[in-house]
Structure 1
Amino acid sequence: MTHTDADAELDPVHPVPVPPARATQVTPATGLTWAEVAERVARGEVNDVPVRSSRSLADIVRANVLTRFNAIIGVLWLIMLCVAPIQDSLFGFVILANTGIGIIQEWRAQQTLDALAVIGEARPTVRRDGTATAISTSDIVLDDVIEIGPGDKVVVDGTCVEADGLEIDESLLTGEADPVVKRPGDPMLSGSFVVAGGGAFQATRVGREAYAAQLAEEASRFTLVHSELRTGISTILKYVTWMMVPTAIALVVSQLLVKDTDVKDSLARTVGGIVPMVPEGLVLLTSVAFAIGVIRLGRKQCLVQELPAIEGLARVDTVCLDKTGTLTEGGMQVTEVRMLDGSDERHVRKALGALGESDPRPNASLQAIIDACPDSEEWRCVESLPFSSARKYSGGSFIEDDGESSTWLLGAPDVLLPADAPALAETVRLNERGMRVLLLARARRDLDDPEVARSVVPAALVVLEQRLRPDAADTLRFFAEQDVRAKVVSGDNAVSVGAVAAKVGLRGGAVDARRLPADREGMARELDGATVFGRVTPQQKREMVGALRWRGHTVAMTGDGVNDVLALKDADIGVAMGSGAEATRAVAQIVLLDNSFAVLPSVVAEGRRVIGNITRVATLFLVKTVYSVLLAVLVVCAQVDYPFLPRHLTLLSTLTIGVPAFFLALAPNRERARPHFVRRVMRYAVPGGVVAAAATFAVYLAARGHYTGPGALDAETSAATLTLFLVSLWVLAIIARPYTWWRLALVAAMAVAFLCVLAVPRLQDFFALKLVGTAMPWLAVGVAVAAAAVLEALWRWVGRRCPV
């Protein structure tokens, strides 16, 4: 459909003009017929906004191939193919292999994400030909009648046609925190979600016409942005470019115009000086590390909706847990119904059964009551009030089997009863045992009276038992060992939540959130001092997350209920359960599809692996960049031949950077993530590169004075190559710490591989390496040992004086 600007009207709720809705009269009870659905599909009136925005294979190939550094390396590779032996073009084949690996790994990660997204995709229920059918969001057509209940997201714009205590939260769109009560005829906004009650609405705008339609697309987007790691690498590459361009130009002029050597040899040595300046494998290994992390977590049924979430959770120092669904399993069971003030048990159980029957979408507590007190169908429901986490109770008005009318409330005893009520003392004793207690009370006022909870007659206490998750204690122990503080934030009674937390080994005071200070600073102080918080409203959860972040903490929030949505959205990292409300899954960065809280340590471990290992390999790559730039500068200043051919640096890069970096980037690493990535990398890379360049150039100048006659340049190059390899190997040995058997084996294997090149005649010829005499090789070893000692002292000094 199309609309002109003249047709646009200003919706009082929307901040922007919205085209008028077009709706056809449809019977709400039956919805569209399948023939009417087919007509709308043929007209293109479908919800064609993709739920997930994935990069296609073409996009992945383009992103990995068409890079600035690939363009530089590609041009140099073509030059070398034309003027030098194939040995000097090996760097180009390495780049091709690396790029291919990057494409394959990212494509595999993309396939994993897409497969998991289908599992976790919301499937709204529509009425067609009188039958409720769950369909994909993209299959909704104009005029479809869509059923909604607590936790469901409004996926398209529409008009309410049925409402049973329906309350909608539109805060993600309008910023207004208070839920909006909806009645038939009221507009429904895409991007809002149901917090209480149920109903149905008719779709009036679908696809890209729906306001906030892009919200659903953005919620599941696989993105590579807003990551300190990737931003830091981009910053490093920018600095490298600034250093590389003028240095490379000076080297070209020096080698081609100043020297009188063979043009092809000069050209080859010029390329040999430029190629190692490019940290071409750094971006590749970062992408591969992230991609493999996605694949590993995917195998554990963990959907990473935003790639930086892996990195973000590794930086978390505070995790806020919602008790239900994280510490405890979702299901409950009624263990006892205690009568109060001489109430008739048979009458009480009838009231409980009627309340259960009045809610078409019962929560876990009400479902347990339904199982324990089935409805006898003797009471007729006149009006119902669904449970809301903000008010902490639900209710219903009934015509009883004797014809009398009555109104009943079911909710938190400490909310419905005055502070001096005798039943509260019994509630506290039960809460201290970790039980959940609900009060059934008869109301003296009408259900639609805002003060209905002010005057009630207690009838019974409903005692429910919550089953602890078997993996909760181990997961909390992991967080404690990793210096990550856990905060339990729940809408239940604080004493009850504290008892449950104690059972899983979480220590600390329990606080009733109703007594928390309203100001951010005061709330932050309370949050630092306690561990368990009960009777927390959805808005308070959001404020608590904000206070912790204001205090400088990196906060993760876990949850599965609709009352967690706002806090999940505001936290640094939102973690939702796969069985949780659709709205929570939409705003979370990580979704645990099998609802296993025990997967979180794996996510943290993946993030720490990526951050810690990329910091290691980035140092390796940038040491090479620094010594390459400095060697080029020294060569230009001394007006001598560049000491290396491309084949020499390909060999060195492969043995001291390429192969080791691949293993180090994918190795386990549980070191806590630390900020200031660029500073931490450069504080080691600069001294490492300076020492390597100084040692190598010193040996090269000594060799130029020692060797004379034909073949002198090859002998000088061999001595310089030996020096640079030994210094680079020591850099690798430092980076590989702390040592394990495989790290030591890795360093030793690289040393043995280089010795094989020096010992095998064919490899000597292939790489143009042959040590002549004994004086220069031993000098190279001596200088390298001295350089290694200087490096060791420098890096230890930097670690003590410049902690980050």
Structure 2
Amino acid sequence: MTDRTDTQVVARNAGLTSSEVAERVARGEVNDVPVRSSRSTTEIVKANVFTRFNAIIGVLFLVILVVGPIQDGLFGFVIVANTAIGIIQEMRAKKTLDSLAVIGEAKPAVRRDGTSVEIHTSAIVLGDLIELGPGDKAVVDGEVVEAEGLEIDESLLTGEADPVLKKPGDPVMSGSFVVAGGGAFTATKVGRGAYAAQLAEEASRFTLVNSELRNGISQILKYVTWMMVPTAIGLIISQLVLQDHDWREAVRRTVAGIVPMVPEGLVLLTSVAFAIGVIRLGRKQCLVQELPAIEGLARVDVVCLDKTGTLTEGGMDVTGLRMLDGATEPYVRQVLGALGGSDPRPNASLQAIVAAYPATVKDGTGGDGWRCTEALPFSSARKYSGAAFNEPDGDSSSWLLGAPDVLLPTGHAALADIDDLNNQGLRVLLLARTDRRLDDPGVASDVVPQALVILEQRLRPDAADTLRYFEEQGVHAKVISGDNAISVGAVAGKLGLPGAEHPVDARQLPTDRDAMADVLENGAVFGRVTPQQKRDMVAALQSRGHNVAMTGDGVNDVLALKDADIGVSMGSGSEATRAVAQIVLLNNSFATLPSVVAEGRRVIGNITRVATLFLTKTVYSVLLALLVVFWQVPYPFLPRHLTLLSTLTIGVPAFFLALAPNKERAKPHFVRRVMRYSAPAGVICGVATFGEYLLARHHYTGDGALDAETSNATLTLFLISMWVLAIVARPYTLWRVCLVLAMGAGFLIVLVTPWLQDFFALKLVGTEGPWVAVGVALAAGLVLELVWRTLRVHDSD
């Protein structure tokens, strides 16, 4: 590379001028793809208001407004309040996500007026010269103008795993990312015209779907709809045609039978629980790019950790230099300084070397120092980098810097010392001289070792506690690193990771997926792992039924992050890792992960609880409606009665239970587990309530008999529903006990307050009938308790 050529490159590639940028902006040639971290306000309102069940409830509410009285239409006001709560909470979550997305947004370096500046992706214009380095993602389509060992991975777009070496004139596709080298490209397509623009927009969108929890709820609602339609038709016919009482009364009791079949608050509380989870995590600088990731991480049973940047901090320090084969330290220091100056974007290891041995060269233009004539950027697949120099005395030399066990042949005398250093948790790089050209595929063969560079990694102070948390929660941690296996094992051992004393060299791993999975099941630390192996290891673990999370910050982690069930990236990681990860830790703290797991477990455990409450109501409502049709009797309740019961035994307590702390480990098969409890509970509630209703019909006669029968049936159903609530609220804490008692007190207040008795049409007549109702409820509660305990024992087995 000559001085003249370099001068021409700088002049030709100065980028656009300010006036050229202004012209393109005026013409609309701007990268204006709207990247959203959340749904728009309009979408939030529509999603919460225009639902299938809101439509059903709305129609029934209008019917009640016609036939009156207004207290039988209270369920309509409850729906309005619930919908408003859902909109407000999701709007809060949107605000949190949008603000975090701005903080975590990558800003590409663009050369304008000859100066490199960082700008927002949306500010790129057609013809901009965009600089690229390791880990950078191409945000628009373009054409390479400068390339220095530029290798780009296009696997996320094309599926081709091997990086592509790019030269000037080659195309660059948006969505691809740099794995080695650097360069610059001119933007040829921006905005929606870019190849991956639609994919990028879709990948970054906040979503409430595609999770086991929400899919399970959708499946439940589908079943409920199937049950509702024929049951409601039968009830309508029964109450309007076959009964000989006032048509307004018939309509009210028909509506009373249909309304409780709708688990209207279940979807709302799920959305609210997720939204509040986003807000809580946002306060801890955790950006959830895809909402189900909160749930997904809670279901994870294996977490694969990249050592660098996760267990250790990004920075390193040079702690020693050992000469080999007669090399002299002053000369080696000059070589290391020259190597540091030859890479415009040094990785963490090279940055430590640059800090210890200041560079004597910045580029090929030289001066009196070392002149770089050829460079080989570091690659995770190669495990080494290199450069060729014209030395100040006129000699030429080529050097490699990288993993000793990759550059040295097996059995080399220096490897024994290296193993000893690795056992201390130190990282060791080998500086070696080569007589081959750097573009020779065999450049790493027959090298002449010159020195060992000893680096000390900085352990994250919170890493040990985080690993301990995962162990206590039954989540297996696997450290997967590109570094020397012994060194990685020593670092993991210092942090107390079980199994760290038996590290595995990934170069010895079998390629067969089943055989690899056997090794992964038993091992905890793996070193010398290539990027493709990381991806294969994730697939092997998934083949054994594991839910796998992958953490990382480097470009070598991208493929594994994409394929893992949950990808977690550090905020300071490469742009490519942040783009494919579902969760970004903006504070770069590995210790934030337990908070995400805990938040997910809270959501899953609590929604399972409240879903049991809602589905129990649906089951007993359908059963009561069927029994009424078959027995040809008036429906035992008015809408106001069931609104009162639903509010006290489901609505209010479910809201608090959905947001309560919950550390239970997430379990699969949400629908089956919920229906396993709610179906028998609903049947017991329905049969007991209808049985008491028939007893009351036999006991009461004359005027006012129907009101007395309704009041007794309401008392029975309330007491049984309270028993269900008391079971669901376990294990008891002070606030849970107070919650259950407060709901009971609320019903008691209605029973003893004259104007509330009139408002809710609840008045117990005599003493024998009410005590029979209490007795029936007590017997049903004991049966319910027995069934529940039996199911719990079966589940624990």
Instruction: Say yes or no: does 1:237 pair with 2:221.
Output: yes
CA contact (8 A) 2:547 2:565 kept: yes
The structural deviation recorded for 1:799 is: 3.0
For residues 56 and 213 of structure 1, the distance between their equivalents in structure 2, rounded to whole angstroms, comes to 19
Corresponding residue for 1:663?
656
What is the 5 A alignment of 1:636-651? 636-651=629-644
Question: Structure 1: which amino acid aligns with 2:536?
Answer: E
Paired residues, number? 780
**Structure 1 residues 557 and 128, CA gap change in structure 2 (3 angstroms):** same
Corresponding residue for 2:109?
125
CA contact (8 A) 1:259 1:641 kept: yes
Q: Which moved more, 1:562-571 or 1:56-65?
A: 56-65
Please, which of 450, 458, 466 is the counterpart of residue 459 of structure 1?
Answer: 450
The structural deviation recorded for 1:219 is: 2.9
Corresponding residue for 1:8?
none
The structural deviation recorded for 1:408 is: 0.8
Please, which of 76, 83, 106 is the counterpart of residue 60 of structure 2?
Answer: 76
What is the 5 A alignment of 1:342-353? 342-353=326-337
For residues 734 and 53 of structure 1, the distance between their equivalents in structure 2, rounded to whole angstroms, comes to 39
TM-score by length of 1: 0.96
Please, which of 245, 265, 270 is the counterpart of residue 286 of structure 1?
Answer: 270
- Where 2:208 maps in the other structure, the secondary structure is coil
CA contact (8 A) 2:569 2:583 kept: yes
For residues 573 and 376 of structure 1, the distance between their equivalents in structure 2, rounded to whole angstroms, comes to 44
- C-alpha distance after superposition, 1:629-650 (max 9, x if no partner): 1111111111111111111001
- C-alpha distance after superposition, 1:437-486 (max 9, x if no partner): 00111112121211111021111110000010011011011100110000
- Where 2:568 maps in the other structure, the secondary structure is strand
Corresponding residue for 1:473?
464
CA contact (8 A) 2:39 2:205 kept: no
Corresponding residue for 1:765?
758
For residues 710 and 202 of structure 2, the distance between their equivalents in structure 1, rounded to whole angstroms, comes to 55
Please, which of 81, 85, 90 is the counterpart of residue 106 of structure 1?
Answer: 90
Instruction: Say yes or no: does 1:274 pair with 2:252.
Output: no
For residues 510 and 802 of structure 1, the distance between their equivalents in structure 2, rounded to whole angstroms, comes to 37
Please, which of 590, 611, 617 is the counterpart of residue 597 of structure 1?
Answer: 590
Corresponding residue for 2:782?
789
Alpha-carbon RMSD across the aligned residues, in angstroms, is 1.2
Corresponding residue for 1:568?
561
Corresponding residue for 2:384?
393
The structural deviation recorded for 1:87 is: 1.0
- C-alpha distance after superposition, 1:589-643 (max 9, x if no partner): 0000010100100100111111111011001001100111111111111111111
For residues 591 and 530 of structure 2, the distance between their equivalents in structure 1, rounded to whole angstroms, comes to 26
CA contact (8 A) 2:37 2:101 kept: no
Corresponding residue for 1:583?
576
For residues 445 and 155 of structure 1, the distance between their equivalents in structure 2, rounded to whole angstroms, comes to 37
Question: Structure 1: which amino acid aligns with 2:717?
Answer: L
Instruction: Say yes or no: does 1:182 pair with 2:166.
Output: yes
CA contact (8 A) 1:385 1:447 kept: yes
Corresponding residue for 1:737?
730
The structural deviation recorded for 1:802 is: 6.0
What is the 5 A alignment of 1:270-669? 270-377=254-361, 378-508=369-499, 509-669=502-662
For residues 178 and 247 of structure 1, the distance between their equivalents in structure 2, rounded to whole angstroms, comes to 60
The structural deviation recorded for 1:214 is: 2.0
The structural deviation recorded for 1:797 is: 2.2
For residues 157 and 40 of structure 2, the distance between their equivalents in structure 1, rounded to whole angstroms, comes to 30
For residues 428 and 267 of structure 2, the distance between their equivalents in structure 1, rounded to whole angstroms, comes to 55
Query: Structure 2 stretches of 5 or more lacking a match?
Result: 1-8, 362-368
The structural deviation recorded for 1:26 is: 12
Instruction: Say yes or no: does 1:258 pair with 2:258.
Output: no
Corresponding residue for 2:748?
755
**Structure 1 residues 468 and 238, CA gap change in structure 2 (3 angstroms):** same
CA contact (8 A) 1:28 1:161 kept: no
For residues 12 and 700 of structure 2, the distance between their equivalents in structure 1, rounded to whole angstroms, comes to 95
CA contact (8 A) 2:205 2:289 kept: yes
- Where 2:309 maps in the other structure, the secondary structure is coil
Question: Structure 2: which amino acid aligns with 1:705?
Answer: H
Corresponding residue for 2:712?
719
Q: Which moved more, 1:240-249 or 1:219-228?
A: 219-228
Instruction: Say yes or no: does 1:210 pair with 2:164.
Output: no
CA contact (8 A) 1:26 1:32 kept: no
- C-alpha distance after superposition, 1:131-159 (max 9, x if no partner): 11111111111111000100000111111
Please, which of 37, 40, 55 is the counterpart of residue 56 of structure 1?
Answer: 40
For residues 293 and 38 of structure 2, the distance between their equivalents in structure 1, rounded to whole angstroms, comes to 16
CA contact (8 A) 1:315 1:554 kept: yes
For residues 498 and 419 of structure 2, the distance between their equivalents in structure 1, rounded to whole angstroms, comes to 19
**Structure 1 residues 802 and 365, CA gap change in structure 2 (3 angstroms):** closer
- Where 2:444 maps in the other structure, the secondary structure is helix
For residues 495 and 251 of structure 2, the distance between their equivalents in structure 1, rounded to whole angstroms, comes to 68
The structural deviation recorded for 1:748 is: 1.0
For residues 795 and 223 of structure 2, the distance between their equivalents in structure 1, rounded to whole angstroms, comes to 21
For residues 745 and 551 of structure 1, the distance between their equivalents in structure 2, rounded to whole angstroms, comes to 45
For residues 507 and 772 of structure 1, the distance between their equivalents in structure 2, rounded to whole angstroms, comes to 68
For residues 622 and 530 of structure 1, the distance between their equivalents in structure 2, rounded to whole angstroms, comes to 43
For residues 11 and 767 of structure 2, the distance between their equivalents in structure 1, rounded to whole angstroms, comes to 97
For residues 77 and 28 of structure 1, the distance between their equivalents in structure 2, rounded to whole angstroms, comes to 72
The structural deviation recorded for 1:115 is: 0.8
For residues 214 and 422 of structure 1, the distance between their equivalents in structure 2, rounded to whole angstroms, comes to 55
CA contact (8 A) 1:53 1:218 kept: no
- Where 2:214 maps in the other structure, the secondary structure is helix
Question: Structure 2: which amino acid aligns with 1:222?
Answer: F
Question: Structure 1: which amino acid aligns with 2:254?
Answer: T
For residues 43 and 556 of structure 2, the distance between their equivalents in structure 1, rounded to whole angstroms, comes to 38
Corresponding residue for 1:16?
none
- Where 2:450 maps in the other structure, the secondary structure is strand
- Where 1:126 maps in the other structure, the secondary structure is strand
Instruction: Say yes or no: does 1:158 pair with 2:149.
Output: no
CA contact (8 A) 1:311 1:610 kept: yes
Question: Structure 2: which amino acid aligns with 1:367?
Answer: Q
Question: Structure 1: which amino acid aligns with 2:554?
Answer: G
For residues 92 and 41 of structure 1, the distance between their equivalents in structure 2, rounded to whole angstroms, comes to 51
The structural deviation recorded for 1:34 is: 1.3
CA contact (8 A) 1:545 1:555 kept: yes
For residues 737 and 256 of structure 2, the distance between their equivalents in structure 1, rounded to whole angstroms, comes to 30
For residues 373 and 507 of structure 1, the distance between their equivalents in structure 2, rounded to whole angstroms, comes to 38
CA contact (8 A) 1:102 1:284 kept: yes
**Structure 1 residues 537 and 716, CA gap change in structure 2 (3 angstroms):** same
Question: Structure 2: which amino acid aligns with 1:683?
Answer: R
